[in-house]
Structure 1
Amino acid sequence: MTISETVSLLAVLASSSLVHAHGHVNNLVINGVFYETYDSTNFPYMENPPIVVGWTVDQKDNGFVSPHAYYDPDIICHREAVPAQGHVEVTAGDVITVQWSEWPDAHHGPVLDYLANCHGPCEDVDKTTLEFFKIDGLGVVDRGNPGRYADDVLLENGYSWNVRIPENIASGNYVLRHEIIALHNAIEKYGAQNYPQCFNLKITGGGSDEPEGVLGTELYDAEDPGIYINIYANPADYEVPGPTIIEGGVTSVKQDPSSAYTTATATTRS
């Protein structure tokens, strides 16, 4: 067995053994207030689940979206995703902390964040019409075999990732699309694993910029160099998938794990 075949086998075994340990986003924290998102492992079994800011998805197994589905609506906000019926108000320039329930240390890959203007209430939006622009995206932090990637930083920060809402974008109703792409099996074509999740925001106090976006089904291709890659070969460069970060976008900053939070619920339409 060759080295590449051995690496591929180990990646497949790691993937299959950790399918239930991938996790999902539990909360958004904004200015010390924490908002519950969609709990894909519990809400499907509740008669009256709460109204939250996170989109409803068919993700009971904490699973992923395959590159086979890059041109399918499932890649937009995860499998069978439908808009959340609540939203949270944020001010342009605010930092949102995205808190995951868990994430396996055997997975490695980039963390990306996008916004899409709903041009009306996000609670009613047709996801196939959303045009996403990237506000945050980080790939390799330290080179190595496989190296230290953005999702390793997320894990080190207590399963948390901070993303700043750009001050220059226009106020309005937006979908925040947060995503980890796991590359531990990306040595095989279609081996990458996408974990996108979406949240409804009402952004206030913004500027005047209305960046052009890309349909969710046009963000990636299975042969993109940041998608189809052997991370165990210590690649000299890593190209973060998707469009470039817009002007005003920034890379995540480390969260203070000692922060104290209060709790609030999503706002519904009046």
Structure 2
Amino acid sequence: MKNSNSALIAAGIFVQMAVLAAGHSIFQQASSGSKDFGSTCVRMPPNNSPVTSVSSKDMACNVGGSKGLSGICEVKAGDEFTVEMHAQPGDRSCAHEAIGGNHFGPVMVYMSKVSDVTSADGSAGSWFKVDEFGYDASSKKWGTDQLNANCGKRSFKIPSKIPAGDYLVRAEAIALHTAGQSGGAQFYMSCYQVRVSGGSRGQLPAGVKIPGAYSASDPGILIDIWGSSFKEYKIPGPAIIDQSYF
């Protein structure tokens, strides 16, 4: 009987781990207007597992994301750009949740200007935030809920008043289902290699370093979203850049 109980417990743990892993996901495609870039300019991580340490160098562009590739997504300043998240590589089926398993949390997009987007690792410059959706208390919907409702897509505007050139675009979702304990938040991000034309000759917006923008104890990272006291949510990191840049 003891062996039987142990087998049942082990089976239960395995099923629970499989369910949690099923919620893992990857930002892996992009588009702009009628142009579908697919995965040509995204630095894909080796798998759909999250980053869990806010001090890890992988926080910038995920595991393996410091290495560039040849593909570049070319857009104009002021264009709409859409990032796309799905659970498995190459899977764009809208029949599947973009990020499931109760992986609720915010979605954010950062940009960083670099000299050569095919080789920059994201550590030298600063990152400024251009888009975010956290939690809407009135509807009780998260940014990840919006991803699921929109076939994994999140669209934002490339600021029209930033200098032309090469940029890393960093799309990120933070899953908070186990964030009630330190190190429990799960970070899913990918970097897209983007070349912006047009724009202005003005200064870049102020930015932050990644890693460095987040602390493990930030209220938007160390948080129990299941508790009865949860009412509102503070998105981690800097605010979106001033609207004058758009």
Would you say same fold, with TM above 0.5? yes
Quote the Cα distance in structure 2 between the aligned partners of 1:14 and 1:211.
44
Q: Higher mean Cα deviation, 203-212 or 191-200?
A: 203-212
C-alpha distance in 1, partners of 2:141/2:244?
A: 22
Q: Is 1:169 aligned to residue 169 of structure 2?
A: no
CA drift at 1:248: 2.8
Alpha carbons of structure 1 residues 239 and 111: separation in structure 2 relative to 1, 3 Å: same
**DSSP-derived class of the 1:194 partner:** strand
Q: 1:176–1:249: structure 2 CA closer, same or farther, 3 Å change rule?
A: farther
Instruction: Say how many residue pairs are matched.
Output: 218
- After TM superposition, the structure 1 = structure 2 runs for residues 59-78 of structure 1, keeping only pairs within 5 Å, are 59=47, 62-66=48-52, 69-78=53-62
Q: Where does residue 268 of structure 1 map in the other structure? A: none
Task: Tell me how far apart the structure 2 counterparts of residues 14 and 100 of structure 1 sit (CA, whole Å).
Answer: 23
How far does residue 130 in structure 1 lie from its aligned partner after superposition? 3.1
Distance 1:142 1:249, change over 3 A: farther
* Structure 1: gaps (5+ residues): 1-12, 38-51, 251-270
Partners in 2 of 1:249 and 1:243 — Cα distance? 17
1:108 to 1:16, Cα distance in 2 relative to 1, 3 A: same
Give yes or no for contact 1:20–1:63 (8 Å, CA) kept in 2: no
Residue 45 of structure 2 corresponds to residue 33 of structure 1 = no
Which AA in structure 2 matches 1:110? P
State whether structure 2 residue 126 is matched by structure 1 residue 142.
Answer: no
How far did residue 18 of structure 1 move? Answer: 3.0
Change in CA separation of 1:126 and 1:107 when aligned onto 2, cut-off 3 Å:
closer
| 3-state SS in 1 of match to 2:60 | helix
Asked whether 1:91 is paired with 2:91, we answer: no
Q: Which letter maps to 1:71?
A: S
- SS of the residue 2:216 aligns to: coil
- What TM-score does the superposition give when structure 1 sets the normalisation length? 0.75
Change (3 A) 1:202 1:18: same
**Separation in 1, partners of 2:233, 2:28:** 29
8 Å Cα contact 2:42-2:190 kept in structure 1: yes
> Equivalent residue of 2:146, what SS?
helix
Distance 2:244 2:38 in 1: 25
Residues 25 and 188 of structure 2 are in contact (CA less than 8 Å); yes or no, is this contact kept in structure 1? no
Q: Residue 238 and residue 14 in structure 1: after superposition, are their counterparts in 2 closer, same or farther (change >3 A)?
A: farther
Q: Does 1:117 align with 2:113?
A: yes
CA distance in 2 between counterparts of 1:35 and 1:93 reads 18
Question: Which residue is 1:228 aligned to?
Answer: 222
Matched with 1:157 is 150
| 2:46 is aligned with 1:58 | yes
Q: Secondary structure at the match of 1:161?
A: strand
Structure 1 residue 21 displacement after superposition: 4.0
Question: Normalised by the size of structure 2, how large is the TM-score?
Answer: 0.82
Compute the displacement of 1:88 (Å): 1.1
* Cα distance, 1:14–1:189 mapped onto 2, change above 3 Å: farther
Match for 2:212: what amino acid? Answer: E
State the SS of the aligned residue for 2:127.
Answer: strand
Separation of aligned partners in 1, 2:121 and 2:190: 16
Q: Which amino acid aligns with 1:23?
A: S
Q: Aligned to 2:156, what secondary structure does the other structure show?
A: strand
Deviation of residue 125 (structure 1)?
Answer: 1.1
